[in-house]
Amino acid sequence: MPGRALLDMKSRLDGLLKEAVVCVEGAAVDKDALLDIKVRYLGRKGGVSSFLKELASLSAEERKAAGEAINQVKDSLEGLIEGRLAALEERARTLALEKERLDVTLPGRRFPLGRRHPVMQVMAEIEAIFRGLGFDVAEGPEIEHDYYNFEALNIPKDHPARDMQDTFYVTEDVLLRTHTSPVQIREMKRVKPPVRIIAPGTVYRKDSDVTHTPMFHQVEVFMVDEGVTFAHLKGVLTQFLQGLFGTDTPLRFRPSFFPFTEPSAEVDIRCVICKGAGCRVCKASGWLEILGAGMIHPEVFKSVGYDYERWSGFAFGLGVERIAMLKYGIDDLRLLFENDLRFLRQF
């Protein structure tokens, strides 16, 4: 027969368990309250532990039964609270996942892709053609000395040819280069012949209408060797222009004048906008001038220290925007510089 003390303890344990269960039910979704309840009933100084002190006053046999009863209450309370806490955690996790849910079936966002400006595309194409013909690429400064831009190219200070190109001056002797021809001088002073060089770059002139802008691009091409003739110039030019525009595009050479070449020519291509019928781009002539060319003048060879008795060479400078206009059928040069994305995206 169990003693009174044991029976009494069991009934109090039972009461404690019932009370704790009511508390746990009441705190169903409150994690902090559950943790408080856990401390209150299961902590070292908590309700269940206080029963352990009473064990000393029981007989050995009763002590065992009482210990079991205490452990049972402890286990079931622990199980209940831990179960609730786990359920709460699970719920919080589900809610978070629900909130952060990604719809992997949505189409991705496209990154806006830039592309090369049509002028740069044409420049790269020109470069590739000449690299294929064995030319090296060189560059020079855009802010240039009068000497390289004019003097050394046989255009002295009082020469009327200076009026051919309206110049932006920085100081009396420093200017924004008006053409890429100064790179001829810089390169020929740097290396001995034979040379084959192309020099793409930006140039500046006080100029503005449908076929002229104050900033534009040129590519200078020149070759110096023994026995270079006008026939080589014509051959290289024909091959280049037909490579760029297709073999059926007519070209024409017109006699012209540049102080740094003799003889000199201007090369026109049949206007691809109007196919020769006449339009505002070709000023109703059916032809569009795209480059100036000629055999390098002995005075230029003198200023770079080349023996003009031994070496000869040709040079030409072409307008990249003009070529871009012709290649893409653009009828106003200024469109290329307005940076309207609707226009630029077409290329």
Residues that bind ligand FA5 (CB under 6 A): 165, 179, 181, 205, 207, 212-213, 216, 218, 220, 258, 261, 289-294, 315-319, 321-322
- Cβ 140 to ligand FA5 shortest distance, Å: 13
Task: For residue 291, give every residue at least 6 positions away whose Cβ sits within 8 Å of its Cβ, in sequence order, or none.
Answer: 237, 266, 267, 316, 317, 318, 319
**Nearest CB to ligand FA5, comparing residues 49 and 165:** 165
**Nearest CB to ligand FA5, comparing residues 74 and 220:** 220
- Cβ 261 to ligand FA5 shortest distance, Å: 5
**Nearest CB to ligand FA5, comparing residues 207 and 299:** 207
Closest to 304 in 3D by CA, of 189, 196, 225? 189
| Residue 262, SS3 per DSSP | strand
Q: Which long-range contacts (CB under 8 A, 24 or more apart) does 159-164 make?
A: 159/259, 161/257, 161/258, 161/259
- Cβ 246 to ligand FA5 shortest distance, Å: 19
- Cβ 266 to ligand FA5 shortest distance, Å: 7
- Cβ 148 to ligand FA5 shortest distance, Å: 12
Both structure tokens of 321: 């925007």
Tell me which H or E stretch contains 22: helix 4-26
Nearest residue to the partner ligand FA5, using Cβ = 319
**Nearest CB to ligand FA5, comparing residues 23 and 215:** 215
**Angle, CA 202 vertex, CA 164 and CA 278 arms, to 5°:** 60
**Nearest CB to ligand FA5, comparing residues 84 and 205:** 205
- Cβ 181 to ligand FA5 shortest distance, Å: 4
Cα-to-chain-centroid distance, residue 167: 34
**Nearest CB to ligand FA5, comparing residues 63 and 232:** 232
**Number of helices and strands (H, E) in the chain?**
11, 9
CB–CB of 238/251 below 8 Å? yes
**Nearest CB to ligand FA5, comparing residues 34 and 199:** 199
- Cβ 108 to ligand FA5 shortest distance, Å: 42
**Nearest CB to ligand FA5, comparing residues 6 and 185:** 185
Both structure tokens of 201: 């770059």
CB–CB of 224/191 below 8 Å? no
Give CA–CA dist 117/81, Å, rounded. 69
CB–CB of 191/184 below 8 Å? no
**Nearest CB to ligand FA5, comparing residues 47 and 317:** 317
Give CA–CA dist 206/212, Å, rounded. 9
Closest to 51 in 3D by CA, of 9, 111, 19? 9
Q: Are strands 195-204 and 136-137 parallel, antiparallel or unpaired?
A: parallel
C-alpha to C-alpha distances, 295 to 26, 126, 262, nearest whole angstrom: 102, 21, 5
Residue with tokens 């046989």: 154
- Cβ 182 to ligand FA5 shortest distance, Å: 9
- Cβ 107 to ligand FA5 shortest distance, Å: 43
